[in-house]
């Protein structure tokens, strides 16, 4: 693979194991990034570490410290951190298999691709992947990455395994901390019926190519226009503000307009056939 692996180690199912490599499944290389410049010279600004008492500090003099109370730290060296090792530092050990619907969507995090690391690993990796495919379950495992042990969800995808990091329980907030403040209300049945019909009008297949980052596109257009104008100040076009009108009238107008602006569904010849889906607590995530 052209990309560098995020993690390398072993995949283990009971007594069967093989070398594997973990790769990020997404990319941010096309994002618009801005640099910090001096207002007059346009030189890049350098961030210099500074001690509030002694002034600028050389990076060789910087150490890591954990604050145990206000202004009091325990200093930990890089070597000491490296010596903190778990079995999952080098091994993705599959612990159990669960139905996908049992994993609440709140817990799904970043996607990765897991592949065999070297020709010698292909046979054992393929056996594990095909056994998982037959079981139709999601495998749960753990791995240490970036100084954290993370829970993983693994499932077969093509010739490899699609792997998601899962948030742990401490990272997920209780929905009632936000939703608990929403007052109970019984909506008008006619309004709900009209809204349901609007939803039916807007049904269609999921085609990732139709959902580009329009804000980033607008930023690129702004940058291009500024370059064209020799750096002079330019103004982006104002977006259309949402109208505040009667709710029932808005619903009726939306239904009359065919549910509002819609994207044309992708050609069936280009889109993969969709399987009928039942309502689940946590629908399967699809990689782009």
CA distance 235 to 23: 40
More confident residue, 93 or 264: 93
pLDDT over 60 (residue 282):
no
Distance of CA 211 to the CA centre of its chain: 15
What are the structure tokens assigned to 287, written together?
A: 């990689």
Average pLDDT over residues 133-138: 92
pLDDT over 50 (residue 254):
yes
pLDDT over 90 (residue 127):
yes
Comparing CA positions, the residue from 99, 105, 108 lying closest to residue 165 is 108
Most confident of 88-92, 110-114, 131-135: 110-114
Query: What class does CATH assign to 7-26+84-166?
Result: mainly beta
Beta bridge pairs of residue 162: 113, 155
- Tell me the pLDDT tens digit for each residue of 12-55: 998 888 999 999 998 877 778 888 888 889 899 988 899 989 99
pLDDT for res 47:
87
Q: Residue 271's pLDDT band (boundaries 50, 70, 90)?
A: very low
pLDDT over 80 (residue 101):
yes
CA distance 68 to 78: 18
Average pLDDT over residues 145-160: 91
Comparing CA positions, the residue from 152, 149, 144 lying closest to residue 97 is 152
pLDDT for res 152:
95
pLDDT over 80 (residue 275):
no
pLDDT for res 242:
60
Average pLDDT over residues 112-136: 93
pLDDT for res 105:
93
Q: Residue 129's pLDDT band (boundaries 50, 70, 90)?
A: very high
- Tell me the pLDDT tens digit for each residue of 51-78: 989 999 998 899 999 898 998 999 898 8
pLDDT for res 57:
92
Comparing CA positions, the residue from 32, 31, 39 lying closest to residue 222 is 32
Q: Where do the domains of the chain lie?
A: 7-26+84-166, 187-202+245-261
Average pLDDT over residues 241-259: 72
219: left (phi over 0), alpha (psi -120 to 50) or beta: alpha
More confident residue, 210 or 140: 140
pLDDT for res 269:
43
């Amino acid at each position: 693979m052209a990309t560098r692996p995020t993690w390398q180690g072993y995949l283990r199912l009971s007594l069967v194991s093989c070398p594997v490599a973990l790769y990020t499944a997404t990319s941010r290389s096309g994002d618009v990034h801005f640099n910090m410049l001096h207002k007059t010279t346009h030189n890049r600004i350098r961030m210099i570490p500074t001690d509030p008492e002694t002034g600028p500090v050389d990076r060789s003099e910087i150490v890591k410290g954990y604050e145990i109370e206000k202004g009091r730290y325990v200093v930990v060296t890089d070597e000491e951190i490296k010596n903190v090792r778990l079995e999952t530092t080098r091994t993705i050990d599959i612990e159990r298999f669960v139905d996908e619907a049992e994993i609440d969507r709140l817990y799904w995090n970043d996607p990765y691709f897991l592949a065999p690391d070297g020709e010698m690993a292909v046979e054992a990796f393929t056996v594990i992947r095909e056994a998982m495919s037959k079981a139709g379950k999601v495998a749960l495992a753990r791995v240490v990455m970036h100084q954290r042990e993370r829970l993983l969800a693994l499932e077969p995808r093509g010739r490899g395994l699609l792997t998601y990091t899962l948030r742990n329980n401490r990272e997920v907030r209780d929905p009632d901390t936000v939703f608990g403040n929403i007052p109970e209300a019984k909506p008008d049945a006619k309004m709900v019926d009209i809204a349901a019909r609007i939803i039916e009008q807007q049904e269609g297949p999921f085609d990732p190519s139709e959902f580009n980052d329009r804000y980033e596109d607008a930023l690129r257009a702004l940058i291009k226009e500024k370059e064209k104008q020799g750096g002079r100040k330019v103004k982006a076009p104002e977006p259309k503000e949402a109208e505040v009108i009667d709710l029932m009238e808005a619903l009726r107008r939306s239904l009359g307009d065919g549910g509002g602006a819609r994207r044309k569904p992708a050609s069936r010849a280009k889109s993969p056939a969709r399987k009928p889906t039942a309502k689940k607590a946590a629908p399967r995530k699809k990689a782009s």
